[in-house]
Amino acid sequence: MIPVITIDGPSGSGKGTIAERVAKRLGWHCLDSGALYRLLVILADRAGISSDQVDKLTKLARNMKVEFRQRAVFLDGEEVTLAIRSESSGNAASKVAAVPEVRSALLEWQRDYARAPGLVADGRDMGSVVFPDAGVKIYLTASAGERAWRRYNQLKEKGLNASLGDLAAEINERDERDRNRGTAPLMAPEGALEVESTALSIDEVLEQVMERVRSAYPDLVI
């Protein structure tokens, strides 16, 4: 059994940053599951396929050739690290992610990422659907205002254009869709440690998560 830590939460909650830090501390693999939905959007866009063409979309999802190299993402050998980070691709990703057939096409694929010595996976349904037997489940939240502000700073750092007002509206729209879809909606999985991070620093969140990791895996030297 490969040990798995799941970190779920709404967009801008900081789960990607925390997942990366935890994986680095442990020397484990890291799966950014949102990137898969974002990559699918790029492919669909290029092929002129819309989110209601379910069969074509599902076929694309099954045949995606994705490679994660450190922090870079490649699609069919082309680097798309920055292209998938725009807010519009996140919003479009949330639309294709609401299609149940797309989610099941990506399911086994995501489970395949659980490799020795262990996996830290972040997303919306990591603890509830993809890795229900994970040894540690975290549900990370923050107020909508704080999440918009974090997203704004993240995009600016990457040199991408952003407006705080637009981001807040998009975050609300995305939250609404991700929480209310019929298949694998965003939710706190049973048994998860809920961390409300609005007033916490990255290090403070990391400490709470690592404490849970230590008690679940006492043999790990951290």
When asked if residue 33 is in the footprint of ligand DC (CB under 6 A), the reply is yes
Determine if 174 is a binding residue for ligand DC (CB under 6 A).
Answer: yes
Site membership for ligand DC, residue 13 (CB under 6 A): no
Whose structure tokens read 């993402």?
Answer: 73
Task: Please tell me the number of Cα atoms within 13 Å of 124 on its side-chain side.
Answer: 25
CA dist 222 and 218 (Å) reads 9
Q: Are 18 and 150 in contact (CB under 8 A)?
A: no
Residue 14 binds ligand DC (CB under 6 A): no
* Closest CB to ligand DC among residues 21, 174: 174
Residue in 49, 125, 137, 139 binding ligand DC, rule: CB under 6 A: 125
141 binds ligand DC (CB under 6 A): no
Choices 119-127, 131-139, 150-158, 198-206; region in contact with ligand DC by CB under 6 A: 119-127
In the list 167, 178, 205, 206, the residue contacting ligand DC (rule: CB under 6 A) is 178
Residue closer to ligand DC (CB basis): 125 or 206 = 125
Q: 46: burial class by Cβ within 10 Å (0-12, 13-18, 19+)?
A: exposed
C-alpha pair distances (Å), 16 with each of 33, 40, 127: 10, 19, 15
- CB-based contacts of 146, cutoff 8 Å, min separation 6: 12, 197, 198
Write out the residues near ligand DC by the rule CB under 6 A: 11, 33-34, 37-38, 90, 93-94, 97, 123-126, 174, 178
